[in-house]
Amino acid sequence: MSNDNISYIESKNKLFSVDFRELFRYRDLIWLFVKRDLANSYKQTVLGPIWILINPLLSTTVFTVIFGIIAGIPTDGVPPFLFYMSGNVLWGFFSSNLNKGSATFLSNARIFGKVYFPRLVMPIANVIFNFINFALQTVVYIILVVVYALMGTGVHPNLMILLTPLLVLQTALLGMGIGLIMTSVTTKYRDLNVLFSFGVSLLMYITPVVYPISKAPLGLGTLLLLNPVAPIVETYRYAFLGSGDFHWVYWLVSLGVTALILMFGLVIFNKVEKNFIDTV
């Protein structure tokens, strides 16, 4: 009898072990989870997937009223709605990857306990699902950028737009990396969820989503740019709106921090996935 169709599942003994060929073999399962999330996200809603577009528009409107009109925070000479939407859309993509990734073990404990597949399938599926939402929101954002630019409102898209794919990839990997760390730690210590939730909220306020770095005092602005998400948002906004500056040194530092966080996240994720089912 041939043993060609027999697969052996062995424990991962290496500190860092990501089998990309195995993940590729499970690509159909990844898409299955993506389709499941797309179907479930807006099931039994009146407007359905249209909420993907409505959510950032509503939150941007709120930001414009509160921070732009009431608080009077300057927006580097560009229309406030576009300024807040650029940060809002990108931050939403980052936080979605982080939040979904942080619930990987606890949300999927039942299916993980019944069948084997590479556990990284789930975070990757989350990133793809979030990217689809982000891409649709970005289309609306680009349309608004073009309209405002044609109206001569101080919006100046530039060649830095060519960096957008790299910025989006970095945002996804940074969010996923932090999410992997969070899900690995909170699997055993549930009370850390409260601390992490506070940390994510704090991270938004030290990221230039609702204010420009240029208006921060020199020392504080430098400190804010050490937040790895800040240079991504600033570069993304500069590329589409011509607002602010391209802080390339801090962006390179952010790339390095992203790589380190992702590597550490994968290491601790690989370690915890071996016996997490006995913990949850």
Give pLDDT tens digits along the chain (280 positions): 445 555 545 555 555 567 788 888 989 999 999 998 888 877 766 666 788 888 889 999 999 999 988 988 888 889 999 999 999 999 999 999 998 888 888 887 788 777 888 889 999 999 999 999 999 999 999 999 999 999 988 899 999 999 999 999 999 999 999 999 998 888 777 767 778 888 888 888 899 998 988 888 777 888 899 999 999 999 999 999 998 888 899 999 999 999 999 999 999 988 887 666 545 5
Show Cβ contacts of residue 100 under 8 Å, excluding neighbours closer than 6 positions.
Answer: 123, 126, 129, 130, 179
Expressed in angstroms, the distance from the first to the final Cα of the chain is 40
Q: How many C-beta atoms lie closer than 10 Å to residue 160's C-beta?
A: 17
Closest-CA residue to 167 (of 63, 91, 61, 56): 91
pTM: 0.88
